[in-house]
Chain A
């Protein structure tokens, strides 16, 4: 059993949980993910590692309440335990000699970007963070990220904080200003990651994205998470989750994310119906 040490809401629909998992925290690195099974009848849900504390023996997740699965995880309270947590899965983010890095987090993607930024920052890399939210009420971890960034830029859709617009606007500006960028690492909704790739591609700026494919096993045995990268089929869980953004077939990724949309909605409506009774 995996006991929840702490659990609270960070923003509307966005939840934080810190879980006791000594074996996982010992190995966890930025860029990796967990598979969480809330209770015996739950799905296996992949969630990126938002933080880890080897001394305490804990790992943290930040997730958005979307379907039945994530709502179920959200309904757990501190002191309760998850049925299963597997991890750390996937390959860690590697520092490849960069001097200037731009990390981009969109919405829920701000959470996994944080430990990545911290890792680069600790290694003396100049970190510029660009984080985008829907609006002021949805901000979270901007303070944490600021503490590990040399520069920090916030965008909101409605302009309630920072730049009004998208993370790509700010990125484009940096490129136009000829600011040095050795690599961009972007995590967020697929449409945002695709937009970032489109911005950096003409300039040949190395760009890494972390994909959020549907998964079942998370260990390379089922192939639910397969994606096409550079014309080759890859498993997100084993070969990723980080890939060269310029080679990812985003259209296919988004198509595959919609595979259970109809069923997901039914299950979600039913689940929320139950808990309202």
Chain B
């Protein structure tokens, strides 16, 4: 039973079941569960939770409305700051943001703000689906602005620009919109039906969406500015996959996380041959890395049918950047964590297919720049892991194409685009935000950056 200090945990699909399907793992609250959980909130005057939110959702107010079963008021309060609550309620690392500031966290469980956000947002989905039947809003004659990329940063920016009264066009390189929400985050963490509603809602407010448009090839930013676009927002993300440059990395069945996840999430390879794109999951699948993406890959491989899924991570479990909930879910589903282990070479058969991964054992030394203890190789500890598929998930950096084709755009040595406090780049009228500026980060920080840029673009255009 619940008391003030014990959270109502969302029910989850049992690990044995969910290993075999791509349906969502947490099942969502019932109304009674949501009210019980909301009632744990102390409605603190200073609401420290709000400071923990990168987009400053008025958490106290929305939970306050929920306590009174004012569901419409609750969701509208969230929409003021966050137009993708169905998404952020699921994928935000609340435990290190809002919930980490919750007063109750010191004495027991923090209020499950993310779960409540999801409940309130999901409750509004039917209404939003119904509203999609109306005709799109006509924005012709309004000032034109462009948004590059339809991921979280682009969506948030476009939505605000639309509200400010602009004729917004989003250019997306893929054939389907959503960016990382579509190609990256798996169905079992973020159902694509939800992403579709978010995108369709945006289009219905009058935002135009142009797919199959790769900025830098299809057109340049200079060309957009020379057309009618008064300002441009670049939210193209951090899409360039990193490899480790170790021998054998180009063997068959060694994937980047981006490729593996794109094949499944965007191209629906898990429904092959109904869909044409194949993917190999292997009997023994090894995943290199310790972030959320690595865990998304590992949990996808389990669902595709790999008998063994190893997560190879060079530090210890404590240092893993992934969310604790993801690690727990993956371990419950049967993933085997090989911590303090690092690959040094891939070995293949005579046809060039991966057979085994040569690894070394690691130990932790002094803390490095990131504050985490530096992993050091244990000399002579080489050993082999039998694996016929490996997915390298050690991060991604910005795609250099936009910077390369936009002379006035300055970048950092990491390839990210330089912006000022208002999100404006070194090219007047061109703004940027999200992973292209920060390097790989979270959905919510990208959304925050998109909103900041939208406000700055509005100010900028007013002064033209």
Contact = CB atoms under 8 A, between A and B. Distances in A.
A223 to B, nearest CB: 4
Contacts of B255: 223-224
Centre residue among A87, A223, A228, A260 by max chain B CB count within 10 A: A223
Contacts of B291: none
Contact of B241 (A68, A221, A264): A221
Interface in B183-226: 183, 211-214, 217-219
Contacts of B251: 255
B399 A220 contact: yes
Nearest to B252: A259
Contact of A86 (B173, B253, B259, B353): B173
B275 interface: yes
A97 to B, nearest CB: 23
B278 interface: yes
Contacts of B274: 41
B46 interface: no
A233 B252 contact: no
Contact of A258 (B262, B351, B396): B351
A255 B351 contact: yes
Q: How large is the interface on B (under 10, 10 to 19, 20 to 34, 35 or more residues)?
A: 35 or more
Contact of B273 (A44, A227, A270): A270
B240 A221 contact: yes
Centre residue among B218, B259, B276, B396 by max chain A CB count within 10 A: B276
B239 interface: yes
Given A41-B268, A43-B277, A220 B240 contact: yes
B131 interface: no
Interface in A216-236: 216-217, 219-224, 226-228, 233
Centre residue among A43, A221, A266 by max chain B CB count within 10 A: A221
Contact of A42 (B213, B239, B276, B352): B276
Contacts of A85: 212
Contact of B267 (A216, A220, A256): A216
Contacts of A228: 250
A263 B269 CA distance: 12
Q: How large is the interface on A (under 10, 10 to 19, 20 to 34, 35 or more residues)?
A: 35 or more
A223 B217 contact: no
A23 B213 contact: yes
B241 A219 contact: no
B351 A263 contact: no
Contacts of B211: 84
Contacts of B267: 43-44, 216
Contacts, number: 114
A225 B278 CA distance: 15
Given A220-B401, A266-B273, A252 B250 contact: yes
A88 interface: yes
Nearest to B210: A23
A60 interface: no
B259 A223 contact: yes
A87 B173 CA distance: 9
A83 interface: yes
Interface string B243-280: 10100011111011011001100011000111111101
B175 interface: yes
A260 to B, nearest CB: 5
Contacts of A89: 214, 217
B174 interface: yes
B218 A23 contact: yes
A41 B275 contact: yes
Given A84-B175, A216-B267, A222 B212 contact: no
A175 interface: no
Nearest to B242: A223
A191 to B, nearest CB: 16
A222 B183 CA distance: 11
B259 A222 contact: yes
B421 to A, nearest CB: 29
A219 B399 contact: yes
B273 A219 contact: no
Contact of A216 (B212, B217, B262, B273): B262
A41 B274 CA distance: 7
B258 A221 contact: yes
Contacts of B240: 220-221
Closest 4 CB pairs of A and B: A255-B352, A84-B175, A221-B239, A222-B259
Interface of A: 23-24, 27, 37, 41-44, 68-69, 72, 83-89, 216-217, 219-224, 226-228, 233, 238, 252, 255-256, 258-260, 263-264, 266-267, 270
18 contacts: A23-B213, A27-B219, A37-B175, A41-B268, A44-B175, A69-B276, A86-B212, A87-B218, A88-B218, A219-B217, A219-B239, A223-B241, A226-B243, A228-B250, A233-B245, A252-B352, A255-B351, A256-B252
Given A88-B217, A222-B259, 20 more contacts: A27-B217, A27-B218, A27-B219, A41-B274, A43-B267, A43-B277, A44-B267, A68-B276, A87-B217, A217-B262, A219-B217, A220-B399, A220-B401, A221-B183, A221-B241, A223-B243, A256-B252, A260-B278, A263-B278, A266-B273
